Amino acid sequence: MEAYAPNRKTAVITGASSGIGREVALQAARKGYAIIAVARRRDRLDDLCAEIQRFGGACVPVTLDVTQSGAAERIVEAARVRFGRIDVLFNGAGYASAGALLEQSDTLLDQQWNLHVGAPLRLTRAALPLLRESKGQVLFVGSGLARTPAPYYGTYCAAKAAVRATATQLRRELRGSGIAVTYVDPGAVVSEFAEVSGLRAYAGRAPVERVATAIVRGFEKRPATLNAVPLHALSAAMGDLFPQLADALVFANVKPPAKTAGAPVPQPQPQPAPSPQPEVALEAQSDFDRALEPVARRMERVKLPPAFLAQLLRPGDDVQLSDAAMRWAGMPNKNERAALAEALDALTAGGFLERTGDESWRVVRSAQ
């Protein structure tokens, strides 16, 4: 791992622990970029950096949640100290919150906006001095769903539409600064994202390696809009022109989350103001501990912290398996998703949750 390399182009990649972000980091490193790899899961970042270093690349892991207070400044400082510059900022962190738009809690609405719009803006603002020096590039990852929204993923689609507008706005405001701003439509990608989010597979989905190759090529071409899979982008654009046809196609490829299918719209529940990264202190052998005892070893194997589960237990809140899995693991694999489901079932048996659907629960009791 290089300590300082002022002449080496540097790429900051958020969401680097899996999916598109991980593959972009690998391909950019092979092109000679030093990598600041940002994500929440240190073990996956360590694996990524080890792989990059094996072929002679430079990678620094930065383990944090990009929505945390001060996260942007920490990321930029890591790039400045280790490599002295930022040439590319790739805002790749994200997850989809499942559920009908009007059934989303205030917490979920805020999380999607903060993750997809607020955090990238704060990081871009913090990186601006270094980007001006390098005449660098900022990339915002959007989605075809920004143009043709999918039902039951309304919060995600709305946030991605805002990302698209944000990229256009910044490109115009930074014109003449030497900084390129690129909006990336990755298309539909073969990854864990679609499976976890509930989007049905179809034959036209592109391999993540192909999408990442197009993105890394865009580091040199610096386009205003980068359609990684042009046919997918064209399909999304056609949705604007033929909305009724788009409605039919969207419903054929999207299944509602269990809670949404035929479920009544819940009445608003009073919620306490969320505090950033709350620490939940639990006494030894509390009811919470005892409820998780049957799955404790399983949780240890997948590194599912009890504190994460405790943070979910806000009485009156709804818990969706897909959303919780994304919040915990970013892009969870099948094993991680299954372990989380077992833990939530254990909490149900312990009286902390009540099941409202195949993959949904309502919190009836806090961890304390």
Distance CA 290, CA 32 (A): 51
Q: Would you call 162 helix, strand, or coil by DSSP?
A: helix
Task: Give 217-223's long-range contacts (Cβ < 8 A, gap of 24+).
Answer: 218/139, 218/182, 218/184, 219/11, 219/28, 219/31, 219/33, 219/88, 219/137, 222/137, 222/180, 222/182, 223/182
156 is catalytic: yes
Distance CA 363, CA 300 (A): 23
Give the H or E element holding residue 353.
strand 353-357
* Active-site pick, 33, 156, 183, 202: 156
- Cα angle 193, 194, 200 (rounded to 5 degrees) comes to 170
Amino acid at 5: A
Contact by Cβ (8 Å): 52, 35: yes
Distance CA 215, CA 28 (A): 9
By annotation, the residues acting in catalysis are 156
